[in-house]
């Protein structure tokens, strides 16, 4: 049995989120929470809330025991890109891409 949580269109680049997701993949819930609380990355705040949401979904919707849960799957995909223009010298314009992320986190029970 597994429980999922999604984070859609968060304003952080996917490659920054991927670095943190690689740290918690396969870890149990206690270790993953500790890693997210003590890692100085901007994505950790969003991922900690997402992890807590997935655990709450597992407990409430599927009746799983929190002590046996672990992060079985987590991945990020790019969301819509907000395109902005920055004026530059000689009347030129450079594009600035403000990237967004869609994150999926799955928790499962160890057997």
What mean pLDDT, rounded, does the chain reach?
Answer: 96
End-to-end CA distance of the chain: 10
Q: What is the C-alpha to C-alpha distance for residues 96 and 70, in angstroms, rounded to an integer?
A: 38
User: Within 13 Å of residue 20, how many CA atoms lie on the same side as its CB?
Assistant: 27
Evaluate whether 111 touches 1 at the Cβ level (below 8 Å): no
The whole-number pLDDT of residue 111 equals 80
Evaluate whether 12 touches 42 at the Cβ level (below 8 Å): yes
This prediction's pTM: 0.92
Secondary structure of the chain: what % helix, strand, coil (to 5)? 40, 35, 20
The neighbouring-strand residues paired with 105 are 5, 74
The whole-number pLDDT of residue 29 equals 96
The whole-number pLDDT of residue 15 equals 97
Mean pLDDT of the 42-58 span: 97
């Amino acid at each position: 049995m597994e429980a999922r949580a999604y984070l859609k269109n968060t304003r952080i680049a996917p490659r920054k989120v991927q670095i943190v997701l690689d740290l918690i993949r396969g870890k149990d819930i206690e270790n993953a929470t500790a890693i997210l609380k003590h890692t100085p990355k901007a994505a950790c705040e969003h991922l900690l809330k997402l992890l807590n949401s997935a655990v709450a979904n597992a407990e409430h919707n599927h009746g799983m025991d929190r002590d046996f849960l672990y992060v079985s799957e987590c991945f990020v995909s790019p969301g819509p890109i907000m395109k902005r223009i920055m004026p530059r010298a000689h009347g030129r314009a450079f594009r600035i891409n403000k990237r967004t992320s869609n994150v999926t986190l799955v928790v499962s029970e160890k057997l």
